[in-house]
Amino acid sequence: MHDIRAIRENPAAFDAALSRRGIAAVSSEVLAIDEARRAAIHAAETAQAEQNKASKEVGAAKGRGDEAEFERLRALVAAKKAEMAEMQAKAKAEDDRLGALLMGIPNLPYDDVPDGADEDDNVEIHRWGTPRAFSFAPKEHYDLDGVKPGMDFETAAKLSGARFVVLSGGVARVHRALAQFMLDTHVEENGLSETWTPVLVREEMMLGTGQLPKFGEDSYQTTNGWWMIPTSEVTLTNIVHGLTVDEDTLPRRYVAHSQCFRSEAGSAGRDTAGMLRQHQFEKVEMVSITHPDHSRAELDRMTGCAQGILERLGLPYRTVVLCTGDMGFGARRTHDIEVWLPGQNTYREISSVSVCGDFQARRMNARFKPAGGGKPEFLHTLNGSGLAVGRCLIAVLENGQQEDGSVELPEALHPWLRGKTRLSADGTLE
């Protein structure tokens, strides 16, 4: 949500920032609705003042026996009351129009975000690890002999349709161990607070973080109105929905492991093989609620937390800054972390870490009270994967694959597997 006062003060700057995202100027439309809303409010207040004045004079006219003046004033009171109600209704209608328009306008990019049209214009800022040199042609995860017994897409299709999977045996255990490893690392080493939240939320929670109204088709809604979360960013961020918190409670750093649900409405035909793009998947999600002065530094901190998981697992990756044309709706700056997948011979996104400024906080009406006193201010919010569990499983399997179809598992994961170190060619964890 955007600050209407900032748009009034500098509409040209607002339009210029949106133009970097390929969006046409909209400030004139915003300000026209805002002016109509303010005019209606002023008219309602004027009518109410005139009604109040006439109401006081009615009694005096009656007392002095001036029946004509009494009737005139009584009619005036009724007319002004009707006029006030009409103007209040108009003001509300214009306010609703303004809110709906602002809700559909994406966040403004920071000045240091690179300009560009799509993912080809993203800028690499960091790279870690060297992709392994294989003495054989590496396979994708679903083609590995040791993986096939524990990764069943046919049964999943029978149960639920396309883009689902049934995991079992050693593969399922590695998947679970990865989530536990991520959670424990973020809690014990990175200082995040472990949180467990619902996966069904009210519509206003989806509005608060920006999934609605524009992107409803990308998510699932139940018949009684709940929405299934596309990520626990929705629930973790909305913990402060409608609250005014004390500054000394900031930053608030949360981490949660949850099921996530996405319809993938705009990705027909993309990444249909294997586990890369599923309707139901798991993520370990990080969310930070911060003071405005500290949010930019927090973005770098959260990026480091996500990168650290990959480094502990020995998985090569690179980090890119998304350009203006590839950045998400609610973000002001986003760092995508892409892990190396030898089966595809390329880097693929495994984490996206974004700073949203006060964009989500305005939608949620989430503020903080400055420690030194003064008017409450809007919080800043950030979110990021730490990491996508299924994609991390893919990376572990593909990077650790052996020529016989077995998989050597990262040493960092061994304690969460009770000392097991490899997935054999027949799918046994040993």
* Contact of 284 with 302, CB cutoff 8 Å: no
CA distance 192 to 184: 10
Binding positions for L-serine are 231-233, 262, 285, 383, 385
Report the pLDDT value the prediction gives residue 272, as an integer from 0 to 100: 76
User: Which distant-in-sequence residues (6+ apart) come within 8 Å of 211 by Cβ?
Assistant: 218, 219, 227, 230, 234
Indicate if 367 belongs to the active site: no
For every residue of 93-138, which 3-state class applies, written as one string? HHHHHHHHHHHCCCCCCCCCCCCCCCHHHCEEEEEECCCCCCCCCC
DSSP conformation letters of 328-341: -TT-SEEEEEEEEE
Q: Which residue among 202, 277, 296, 318 is the active-site one? A: 277
Residue 267 pLDDT exceeds 70: no
> What pairing do the DSSP bridges indicate for beta strands 151-152 and 166-167?
antiparallel
Q: What is the DSSP letter of 429?
A: B
Binding positions for ATP are 262-264, 349-352
* Contact of 385 with 319, CB cutoff 8 Å: no
CA geometry: angle at 21 spanning 32 and 6, to 5°? Answer: 40
pLDDT in tens, 36-63: 999 999 999 999 999 999 988 887 887 7
**Arithmetic mean of pLDDT over the chain:** 96
User: Which distant-in-sequence residues (6+ apart) come within 8 Å of 324 by Cβ?
Assistant: 20, 21, 22, 109, 113, 114, 115, 116
> What pairing do the DSSP bridges indicate for beta strands 244-246 and 367-369?
parallel
Residue 266 pLDDT exceeds 60: no
pTM (predicted TM-score): 0.94
The average pLDDT across 360-364 equals 98
Which domains does the chain possess? 4-103 (1.10.287), 119-423 (3.30.930.10)
Q: How many CA atoms lie within 13 A of 332 on its CB side?
A: 19
Higher-confidence residue of 60 and 82: namely 82
Structure tokens at 277: 């793009």
DSSP conformation letters of 233-244: HHHHHGGGTT-E
pLDDT in tens, 384-398: 999 999 999 999 999
Count of other CB atoms within 10 angstroms of residue 100: 11
Q: Which residue among 352, 362, 406, 422 is the active-site one? A: 352
Q: What is the DSSP letter of 404?
A: T
Amino acid identity, position 360: Q
Q: Which residue among 20, 253, 262, 422 is the active-site one? A: 262
The average pLDDT across 293-306 equals 98
Q: 278-289: buried (b, 16+ CB within 10 Å) or exposed (e) per residue?
A: bbbbbbbbbbbb
Burial of residue 75 (CB within 10 Å: 0-12, 13-18, 19+) is: exposed
pLDDT in tens, 179-204: 999 999 999 999 999 999 999 999 99
Report the pLDDT value the prediction gives residue 265, as an integer from 0 to 100: 65
CA distance 230 to 362: 21
In the three-class reduction of DSSP (H, G, I as helix; E, B as strand; rest coil), residue 170 is classed as helix
Report the pLDDT value the prediction gives residue 273, as an integer from 0 to 100: 85
The average pLDDT across 335-363 equals 98
CA distance 386 to 246: 27
Q: Which residue among 391, 398, 406, 422 is the active-site one? A: 391
Q: What is the DSSP letter of 379?
A: -
* Contact of 362 with 378, CB cutoff 8 Å: yes
Report the pLDDT value the prediction gives residue 42, as an integer from 0 to 100: 97
Report the pLDDT value the prediction gives residue 210, as an integer from 0 to 100: 96
Indicate if 262 belongs to the active site: yes
CA distance 278 to 274: 9
Indicate if 362 belongs to the active site: no
Report the pLDDT value the prediction gives residue 167, as an integer from 0 to 100: 98
Indicate if 277 belongs to the active site: yes
Where is 409: in which H helix or E strand?
none
Report the pLDDT value the prediction gives residue 192, as an integer from 0 to 100: 98
Binding positions are 231-233, 262-264, 285, 349-352, 383, 385
pLDDT in tens, 156-176: 999 999 999 999 999 999 999
* Contact of 341 with 398, CB cutoff 8 Å: yes
Indicate if 418 belongs to the active site: no
Residue 102 pLDDT exceeds 80: yes
In the three-class reduction of DSSP (H, G, I as helix; E, B as strand; rest coil), residue 370 is classed as coil
CA distance 103 to 52: 37
Q: Phi/psi of residue 115, each to 5°?
A: -75, 150
